[in-house]
A and B are shown apart, each in its own frame.
Chain A
Amino acid sequence: MRDGDRTVMTMANDFEGAPKEFAVVIPVPTFLARDQIHVGDKALVDHLDAYSAPRLVEYFDANPCERRMFDSMMPFAAARAPAAQAKDAASLAKALGVTIEATYTVGEYDILILSAQQSAGLEAWLRQNGYRIPAGASEVIGTYLKQNMRFFVAKVNLAEQARLGFSYLRPLQVAYESPKFMLPIRLGMVNAAGPQELFVYALTRNGRVETTNYRTVKLPTDMDLPVYLKHSGEFASFYKAMFARQVENQDGRAVFLEYAWDMRWCDPCAADPLSGDELRQLGVFWIDGGESRPPNVLLSRLHVRYDNAHFPEDLVFQETGDRSNFQGRYVLRHAWTGGDTCSAAAEYRRAVDDRRAREAAGLASLTGWNVADIRKKMGGAVPVRAEPAWWERLWKK
């Protein structure tokens, strides 16, 4: 959520290791008090994802798109060192030029807000405290420290997690006020093996959100595609291939807009719009609890695949005044399979053949797949139900 200088950032991620291995280290523009940090409900992010997911015009029970979430966090594996005494920790930190500005336990997370004189000190401190910091992180950390940014460090408190009874990691939320409307991605790229995947769901009041230092490109939409994509798994693999192809077309340097819509409605709806209560939990502070009117909230869903070579600097955003709606929508047109009785049928069949050829070519150009393979998957001509011969209809048996 972003409105004026107010930001509520909800961070979910697809970390799959053991909870004790999980840690997060992110630069934040301001100090965060205990009340500015919250552990949210994972279902909220899932709902946002489902609502804004690219859709086929036919509806399916399951979300066809892969589920990945907003992960601006960089999960560092945190092998736990024996817990140091609290007093020692503070003095040790001081010796390294690191100031522990605050420590909180929020939900299942232990959280530290750190500031430091020098990046080397902070890196050393993190290492001593069991964070596996990749080589080279120090330089990146230094550039944030020089901008007076704090570091938000979170680990899972296993005892608390057991007490609360969650088997998965809930998203962390932070609320702050700062003119900086950006997402630090550089730290996460330090030890990344390949490109990383990031989804940004922005909730705003005025208009769509876009990046100001990278191109924001709308994904191709409203295409007629072969009907075989409705089979399980096909749409997801189409979308994956299409996205990869578009990234390539943009030379790996663009951020993609997948969805931008007024939250009061949708057409077609991949999932119901979020309720006022859900939106408020995600940070939409301008919704009044008792309000009966639908909220004025615009959701932008951005999808970016980034690596160091193509995304040298952090993502910087702006809220535009654009309220036009956009969605990834793909159309499956089922051919009529009835018998060949009307006079226009032959013409219709030719038109269908042409359309199928166009669908195959369109799919090939969107995904880079081989046309011949697509044709094979589409099968031969549209099956036609066998009509009884004319004489069979004369004398009913």
Chain B
Amino acid sequence: MADPRLYQLGTLASLLVYGMGWLDFDITISRAALLLSTVLATQWTCDRLARTRSPSGSSARSALISGLSLCLLLRTNRADLAALAAIVTIAGKFLIRAGGKHLFNPTNGGIVAMLLITNQVWVSPGQWGAPAFFAFLLACAGSLVVNRAARSDVTYAFIVCYAALVFGRSLYLGEPLAIPLHRLESGALLLFTFFMISDPKTTPDSRAGRVLFAALVAFGAWYVQFRLFRTNGLLWSLAACATLVPLIDRLVPGTRYAWAPPRAASTPAPALRAA
């Protein structure tokens, strides 16, 4: 089947148009253009320097996904910081590697790095609002169908664990169920669940490893959000847990993921068989 990233690109682009047109996202067309062109330029430069051989257009697709995610998540008044974020996002893939693959989900790594080095960037997790939620959910569910190849197990495991923690806390405190439901009805959470943590390149290679990884990310996110009372628990937790992936891969080894099976391969990659 076609590269699942095409569906991702389509969904992210429509979400961005919707966010800019209807949800007053704090991002202008010129800022989006700056982010997208910077990720592409950085990807091209890094490919040249690293002499990577990827199928034509393949690395550009990944870079565009990262760029669109940055447009959806990253906010700053300053164009130079936006461009820096785009560079860090892509360059991080080439610079921070372990066991032959990049360590951080590019967008996640880029945003967390920017949040660490300056207080002039921020992420607005509340900006999606509830009316957008169900349309968004539909689009994300669609990505699961198209993306069967792309290891949706991590998505399922994460959302189950996170929902259990959020509901569990509310039940313990005696809060009405409307509260945990409202917390889960979040566009930012969906974007994270379906487009960030599901990144097959930065999750563990084995299924058991991915489920463990998802559970750790869920716990970390919940802890940051509801025990430390800090914003963006999802992003912090994913970045922290990503550093454990090489260890998980060593403990529970599995097959490395490739976006498209090599043409000469006689058997398709196991993950793609269902598609």
Using a CB–CB distance below 8 Å, which chain A residues touch chain B? 139, 142-143, 146-147, 178-182, 206-207, 210-218, 250-251, 253-254, 312-313, 318, 320-324
CA distance A294 to B18 in the complex (A): 41
- Among A214, A312, A318, A322, contact of B179 (Cβ-Cβ < 8 Å): A312
A321 contacts B77, C-beta separation under 8 Å? yes
> Can you list 14 contacts pairing A with B, beta carbon distance less than 8 Å?
A139-B174, A139-B176, A143-B174, A146-B173, A181-B229, A182-B229, A212-B231, A213-B186, A253-B130, A313-B179, A313-B182, A321-B77, A322-B26, A322-B75
| Nearest CB of chain A from residue B199's CB, rounded to whole Å | 24
A143 near B173 with CB under 8 A, answer yes
**Roughly how many angstroms separate A344 CA and B172 CA in the complex, as a whole number?**
74
A sample of 5 more A-B contacts (CB under 8 A), given A142-B174, A214-B129, A254-B129, is A212-B125, A215-B23, A216-B124, A313-B178, A321-B118
Which listed residue, A178, A211, A254, A323, touches B77 by the CB 8 Å rule?
A323
Contact of A321 (CB < 8 Å), options: B119, B172, B178, B179: B119
Query: Does B76 count as interface, using CB distance less than 8 angstroms?
Result: yes
Query: Do B124 and A210 have beta carbons less than 8 Å apart?
Result: yes
Question: In the complex, what's the smallest C-beta–C-beta distance from B1 to chain A, in angstroms?
Answer: 37
Q: Which residues of B contact A (CB under 8 A)?
A: 23-24, 26, 75-77, 118-122, 124-131, 172-176, 178-179, 181-183, 186, 228-231
Residues from chain A with Cβ under 8 Å of B125 in the complex: 212-213
A323–B122 Cα distance when bound, in Å, is 12
Of A139, A218, A312, the residue contacting B178 (CB under 8 A) is A312
Q: Is A146 within 8 A of B172, CB to CB?
A: yes
Whether B24 pairs with A218 at a CB distance below 8 angstroms is yes
| Of the residues B75, B175, B228, contact of A143 by C-beta under 8 Å | B175
From B126, B174, B181, B230, contact of A146 by CB (8 A): B174
Residue of A nearest to B132 (CB): A215
Chain A residue contacts of B75, Cβ below 8 A:
320-322
Query: What residues of A have a CB within 8 angstroms of the CB of B173 in the complex?
Result: 142-143, 146-147
Enumerate chain B residues within 8 angstroms of A178, measured Cβ to Cβ: 229
Complex CA–CA separation, A322 to B81 (angstroms) = 13
When the two chains form their complex, are residues B230 and A312 in contact, meaning their CB atoms are under 8 A apart?
Answer: no
Q: List, in ascending order, chain B residues with CB within 8 A of A216's CB.
A: 124, 126-127
Contacts of B77 in A (CB 8 A): 321-324
Q: Contacts A147-B173, A213-B183, A217-B24 given: A318-B231 contact, CB under 8 Å?
A: yes
CA distance A142 to B175 in the complex (A): 9
Inter-chain CA distance A179–B183, complex, in Å, is: 19
Given A181-B229, A218-B24, A323-B77, is A206 in contact with B182 using a C-beta cutoff of 8 Å?
Answer: no
> Are B126 and A211 in contact, CB atoms less than 8 angstroms apart?
yes
Contact B229 A180 (CB under 8 A): yes
Q: How far is the CB of A177 from chain B (nearest CB, A)?
A: 12
Considering only CB atoms, which chain A residue lies closest to B177 in the complex?
A312
B176 — nearest CB in chain A belongs to which residue?
Answer: A312
* Contact of B229 with A321 in the complex, beta carbons under 8 Å: no
Closest residue to A215 on the B side, CB-wise? B129
Distance from B204 Cβ to chain A, minimum over Cβ atoms (Å) = 30
Query: Given contacts A143-B174, A323-B77, are A213 and B126 in contact (CB under 8 A)?
Result: yes
Residue of B nearest to A217 (CB): B24
The smallest C-beta distance from B163 to any residue of chain A, in angstroms, reads 16
Least distance between A261 CB and chain B CB atoms (Å): 14
Contacts of A321 on B, CB cut-off 8 Å? 75-77, 118-122
Task: Output the nearest chain B residue to A251 by Cβ-Cβ distance.
Answer: B131
Residue on A nearest B114 in the bound complex, by CB = A321
Chain B residues with CB below 8 A from A320, complex form: 75, 122, 124
Closest to A315 in B: B126
Question: Which of B122, B173, B230: most chain A Cβ within 10 A?
Answer: B122
In the docked arrangement, what's the CA distance between A260 and B55, Å? 48
Question: How many Å lie between the Cα of A397 and that of B120 in the bound state?
Answer: 72
Known: A217-B24, A321-B76. A253 touches B129 (CB 8 A): yes
| Min distance, Cβ A200 to any Cβ of chain B, angstroms | 14
**A48–B186 Cα gap in the complex (Å)?**
33
Contact partners of B229 in chain A: CB under 8 A = 178-182
Residues of B within 8 A of A218 (CB): 24
Of all A-B residue pairs in the complex, the 7 with the closest CB atoms, nearest first, are A312-B178, A321-B120, A215-B129, A320-B122, A179-B229, A143-B173, A318-B231
How far does the Cβ of A121 sit from chain B's closest Cβ, in whole Å?
A: 15
Which residues of chain A are within 8 angstroms of B230 by Cβ–Cβ distance? 179
Nearest chain B CB to A380 CB, angstrom units: 37
The CA of A93 and the CA of B77, in the complex, are separated in Å by 53
Complexed CA–CA distance, A210 and B124 (Å): 8
Q: Give the shortest distance, in Å, between A70 (CB) and chain B (any CB).
A: 20
Contact pick for A210, options B126, B131, B182, CB 8 Å: B126
Residues of A within 8 A of B119 (CB): 206-207, 321
Contacts of A318 in B (CB 8 A): 122, 231
Measured in the bound complex, the distance between the Cα atoms of B130 and A265 in whole Å is 36
Contact A251 B174 (CB under 8 A): no
In the complex where A312-B178, A320-B75, A321-B77 touch, is A214 in contact with B126 (Cβ < 8 A)?
yes
Q: Which of A147, A179, A214, A215 contacts B228 (CB 8 A)?
A: A179
Q: How far does the Cβ of A355 sit from chain B's closest Cβ, in whole Å?
A: 26
User: B186 — which chain A residues lie within 8 A by C-beta?
Assistant: 213
